[in-house]
Chains A and B, each alone.
Chain A
Amino acid sequence: MRRGSFLTLCLWAGFAFLYLPILVLIVYSFNASRLVAVWGGWSVKWYGELFRDPQVLGAASMSLQIAAISATVAVVIGGLAGYALSRFGRFRGRTGFSTMLTAPLVMPEVITGLSLLMLFIAMEQIVGWPAGRGMTTVIIAHITFAAAYVAVVVRSRVAGLDRALEEAAMDLGARPFTVLRRITLPMLMPGLLSGWLLAFTLSLDDLVIASFVTGPGATTLPMLIFSKVRLGVSPDINALATLIVAVVASGVLLSGWIMLRTERRHARQVRAAFRREGAMDGN
């Protein structure tokens, strides 16, 4: 089919477009030369440089802490919001609620960052908290926009769940809290998990908002990368990028492999069950 092959061509051209820059970064991370245009032979010296740089290590650990904390809180807030949107039907203020959850997804970061900074300054003047800016304010900012993303993930997951399961548990005498703990949360777990991962990545990735709301002593990894990149070519950034890609890719491959294995096992069990049934019908 001509149309089919045209589409396939588009698809693979698109993938080439998406992955070419990443591949180039990986290759150049092993370039001994400092210059992009010159291939100076294979080397891993930029990796060594990366690990010896206390600034990079400090910023990385700061970013990881911020990401872990904000992702966890964002899952709670975004999870509640997603659940409410999907299951509470109509309630007073629903439109405003839904808009407040959609807007952070697309709000230009410069606006979000600036407005949060203005809030923090005003709050400090009025209630005396947060005193100064730093890790705490960055975490609050990240929770806010990450919660909106978590809400999207959880909302679609909840919409795909059979309401009758919760009702059945209720019917069998489970109290609301028990239903939440034994039925709803376990069923939502995959959605919450991917929401957490998404929030974690978003937090790790954010430069603009953090630049506005951070204070002295709290430099995140993207801020450090940005300052290095702005000064010109820095091969250790290539090494860092390669490490990030490696971690993400192995994470994805691992989860994909686990998913594939469970899926195959399920398919096998289903087939076996059908065979048994068929054998019984035959008798």
Chain B
Amino acid sequence: MTDAAADRVADSPALSTSRGRLIGILIPTAWLLLFFAIPFLFVIKISLSEAAYSVPPVSDFLIWQDGWPVLQATWANFALILDDPLYLQALLGSLRIAAISTLLTLLIGYPMAYAIARAEPGMRTPLLLLVILPFWTSFLIRVYAWSTLLQDQGMINSALMWLGVIDDPMRMLNTEFAVQLGIVYSYLPFMILPLYATLERLDGSLLEAAADLGARPATTFWRVTLPLSLPGMAAGCLLVFIPAAGEFVIPELLGGPDTLMIGKIMWQEFFNNRDWPVASALATILLLLLIVPILLLDRTQSRAEQG
């Protein structure tokens, strides 16, 4: 009773009737359960099935034998993935590339977010807009733009050769470097926005207090600014790392054949080899690897809201 009463106090009037509450929670819950959560069960199911020459190209999970249902589950797809160094390399490679790119994004994004947060109040919104603006133009086309820039005859090589820095074009396209560059470029706004949010909320008098107590600017940064912006850094890094680990477009357009990333392999298994069970098993493994980071992200976000 007391809990219910406390909840009612915390309610907002517009949707506070029990019917309003029900609608507000039920519709999104039903939608997300059906189209986001439950589908994973089907992926897991397919990952335990065998491939078959049929439409769809999987054998039935459940077959009827002498009037009895028999479960036709198999671990073969997972065994295949764990046995084949290609898949393992792709898995580890994805995590490594995503981690390095996340670190680079943080190194580039932090000073930018800090500069915007320290800019004059009237300038902050326009500067933030400049960060977000590229995000509103096609992601695909921007990644493609890098592929033209990084080509052997592309602008960067031409410029470096004209400057005399190099004599022959550097191979940049179709390398892991290009993939990392593409990830940093595409996900930079996701790093800057949460960082900016925490840095902007940082109480300026704390920095003044540190200076007042004798801390030089660098000390103030390490002892006060950086620790207090940790939540923003955590959110930003997770927002970059998680989707980057499963990225398909960037390794496909900028990476070479030896740049193995799990998203690309999965795509190939699914579309080129039509091996749905292996693709599903790969998706399942990736999902398992990412569950902890996703829960962490959810936690940092709800904590940011409370604090």
Residue positions of A touching B, CB distance < 8 A: 3-4, 6-8, 10-11, 14-15, 17-22, 24-25, 28, 35-37, 76-78, 80-81, 83-84, 87-91, 93, 97-112, 114-116, 118-119, 121-122, 140-141, 143-144, 147, 151, 155, 159, 163, 166-167, 169-170, 176, 179-180, 183-184, 201, 204-205, 207-208, 211-212, 222, 225-226, 229-230, 233, 237, 240-241, 244-245, 248-249, 252, 256
Of B67-75, B80-88, B287-295, which binds chain A?
Answer: B287-295
For residue B21, CB closer than 8 A to chain A, the reply is yes
Which of B15, B247, B266 sits near A176, CB closer than 8 Å? Answer: B15
A202-B248 Cα distance, complex, nearest whole Å: 16
- Say yes or no: B15 contacts A115, CB within 8 Å: no
Q: Which of A3, A19, A119 contacts B217 (CB 8 A)?
A: A3
Q: Does B149 contact A (CB under 8 A)?
A: yes
Is B11 a contact of A87 with CB atoms below 8 Å? Answer: yes
Task: Please tell me if the beta carbons of A100 and B138 are within 8 angstroms of each other in the complex.
Answer: no
Checking B11, B148, B270, B280 against A233 with a beta-carbon cut-off of 8 angstroms, the contacting residue is B148
B46 at the interface (CB under 8 A from A): yes
List chain B residues, Cβ under 8 A from A222: 138, 140
Known: A118-B43, A226-B140. A108 touches B134 (CB 8 A): no
In the complex the two chains form, what is the Cα distance from A140 to B39 in whole Å? 13
Q: Given contacts A18-B185, A37-B158, A176-B20, is CB(A241)–CB(B248) below 8 Å?
A: no
Chain B residues contacting A159 (CB-CB under 8 Å) are 305
**Interface residue SS majority, chain B:** helix
Complex: how many Å from CA A10 to CA B116?
Answer: 11
B residues within 8 A CB of A230?
252-253
CA distance A14 to B146 in the complex (A): 15
Contact flag A151-B28 (CB < 8 Å), given A37-B153, A183-B14: yes
Q: Which residues on the B side are within 8 Å of A76 (C-beta)?
A: 27
For the complex formed, measure the closest distance between the CB of A50 and the CB atoms of chain B, giving whole angstroms. 13
Contact B245 A108 (CB under 8 A): yes
Contacting pair B111 A10 (CB below 8 A): yes
Q: Contact between B243 and A122 (Cβ–Cβ < 8 Å)?
A: no
Q: Is B294 within 8 A of A102, CB to CB?
A: yes
Interchain CB contact (< 8 A) of A248 among B10, B137, B147: B137
Q: Which residues of B contact A212 (CB under 8 A)?
A: 270
Chain B nearest CB from A263 CB (Å) reads: 9
A80 to B239 CA separation, bound complex (whole angstroms): 23
Q: Which of B46, B141, B263 contacts A25 (CB 8 A)?
A: B141
Q: How far is the CA of A21 from the CA of B295 in the complex (A)?
A: 35
Contact B25 A97 (CB under 8 A): yes
Give the interface SS of chain A, mostly helix, strand, loop or mixed.
Answer: helix
Indicate if the CB atoms of B133 and A248 lie closer than 8 Å. Answer: yes
Can you list 9 A-B pairs, Cβ within 8 angstroms, ordered by A? Answer: A11-B127, A21-B145, A87-B15, A99-B294, A115-B40, A222-B138, A225-B140, A237-B144, A252-B136
- A-chain residues with CB within 8 Å of residue B15 when the two chains form the complex: 83-84, 87-88, 176, 180, 184
Q: Measured between C-beta atoms, what is the minimum distance from A94 to chain B in Å?
A: 9
Cross-chain contact A7 with B111 (CB below 8 angstroms): yes
B165 is an interface residue with CB less than 8 A from chain A = no
Task: Specify which chain B residues have a CB less than 8 angstroms from the CB of A205 in the assembled complex.
Answer: 138-140
CB neighbours of A18 from chain B (8 A): 130-131, 134, 185, 188
Contact call A97/B29, Cβ cutoff below 8 A: yes
Whether B36 is near chain A, meaning CB under 8 Å from some CB there, is yes
Does A109 contact B138, Cβ atoms closer than 8 Å? no
- Looking at B144, B247, B286, the one whose CB has the most chain A CB atoms below 10 A away is B144
Instruction: Tell whether, in the assembled complex, residue B144 and residue A110 are in contact, meaning their CB atoms are under 8 Å apart.
Output: no
Q: Is B91 an interface residue (CB 8 A)?
A: no
Q: Which residues in chain B, 101-115, are within 8 Å of chain A measured between CB atoms?
A: 108-109, 111-112, 114-115
Taking a contact as CB atoms under 8 Å apart, the answer to whether B14 and A176 are in contact is yes
On chain B, the residues within 8 Å of A11 by CB distance are 111-112, 115-116, 127
Closest Cβ–Cβ distance, residue B173 to chain A (whole Å): 11
Additional A-B contacts beyond A11-B112, A24-B149, A163-B12 (13; CB < 8 A) = A4-B118, A7-B114, A18-B131, A21-B149, A24-B148, A100-B32, A106-B243, A107-B242, A115-B283, A141-B35, A170-B13, A176-B16, A244-B138
CB-based contact B137/A21 at 8 Å: no
**Closest Cβ–Cβ distance, residue B214 to chain A (whole Å):** 18
Q: How far is the CB of A237 from chain B (nearest CB, A)?
A: 6
**B298 in complex: contacting residue of A24, A102, A201, A252, CB < 8 Å:** A102
For the complex formed, measure the closest distance between the CB of A129 and the CB atoms of chain B, giving whole angstroms: 12
Closest 7 CB pairs of A and B: A108-B246, A115-B39, A21-B145, A89-B10, A37-B153, A81-B28, A10-B111
